[in-house]
Structure 1
Amino acid sequence: MSPEDDESPLRDGDSETGLLPDADAIELLASRRRRTLLGLLVDADGAVTLGSLATAIAQTERASGLGATPSHRIAVSLHHAHLPKLDAAGVVDYDRETNSVRYRGDERIETWLAAIDES
């Protein structure tokens, strides 16, 4: 299993705020591909298709010099690893039947994303 496909369980979020604990937010953001995915979803207006996310991530990875992974392979990793993990953590709603993804919003995720982008 590659670090991009990790499946470690997350702890329950803060029941009062509904936000993930910092440790869980950091764990979710440990994957570069998940950071890119979440950045796209934070900026999206509503639901986004798996295919459009995979294409955007492929373009971002190519532009960053990270290789030329085909978008269909990225879609597979999103479908089987990254989106289920984010869905289980309550960060996104992932509909496997329609392959649509909607960001649910999490202030801690956005704070950590911004901090990582600045570094």
Structure 2
Amino acid sequence: MSNESPYRDDSGKRPSTDPPHVLRAEPAVSRPSFDDIFKLLSEKRRRYAIHHLSTTPEGVATLSDLVEQVAAWETETSVGDVPDDYRKRVEASLHHTHLPKLDDANIIDYDARSESVRYWGQPVLEEYAEHVAAMELPER
């Protein structure tokens, strides 16, 4: 009979019984086709979301931060000057349509319950989004 405890792993530590949090999990290996990339980039709101996420530390943002920045770019105002009703429309659109599409394509992980978004990085997608951002994002 072995003296090893079934409650410890090889390093002597207890294995975690908590499931991994979606934002700490390893990114899915995904290489979207050019058709998928162009479909994802066909909506301005998704382009803005990708641009914002690609410029945040570690690609992590809250839904509210993302909404505020996207709404500000769309209205060409500062974050504080976006009308509340417009911000709510952007939030609904991102929450129900655009973030789930990006999540389904394995571009981001979106946890709707915690309202957290993690962008894993897609060099080809970023390259095309960067070209468009140079032409359509308001001057800062």
Q: TM-score, with normalisation over the residues of structure 2?
A: 0.66
Give unpaired runs (5+ residues) of structure 2: 1-28, 136-140
Instruction: Judge which range, 109-118 or 21-30, deviates more.
Output: 109-118
Unaligned runs of 5+ in 1: 1-16
Partner of 1:85: 101
The structure with the largest alpha-carbon Rg is 2
For the pair 1:62 / 2:75, whether they are aligned, the reply is: yes
Structure 2 residue 45 is the aligned partner of structure 1 residue 29: no
Tell me the residue number matched to 2:63. Answer: 50
Q: Report the counterpart of residue 31 of structure 2 in structure 1.
A: 19
Deviation at 1:118, TM superposition (A): 4.5
Moved over 6 A (4+): none
Name the structure 2 match of 1:7: none
Residue in structure 2 matched with residue 110 of structure 1 by the alignment:
126
1:9 maps to none
Counterpart-to-counterpart distance in 2, 1:85 and 1:40: 16
8 Å CA contact retained: 2:108, 2:119: yes
Quickly say closer, same or farther: Cα 1:118–1:58, change in 2 above 3 A. closer
Return the alpha-carbon distance in structure 1 between the equivalents of residues 89 and 56 of structure 2: 22
RMSD value, Cα: 1.9
Identity of aligned residues (%): 33
**Superposed displacement of residue 83, structure 1:** 0.3
8 Å CA contact 2:51–2:133 kept in 1: the answer is no
Q: Deviations over 1:22-50 (max 9, x none)?
A: 11101100001110110000001132111
DSSP-derived class of the 2:32 partner: coil
The answer to whether structure 1 residue 40 and structure 2 residue 52 are counterparts is yes
Contact 1:39/1:113 (CA < 8 Å) preserved in 2?
A: yes
* Deviates further, 52-61 or 85-94: 52-61
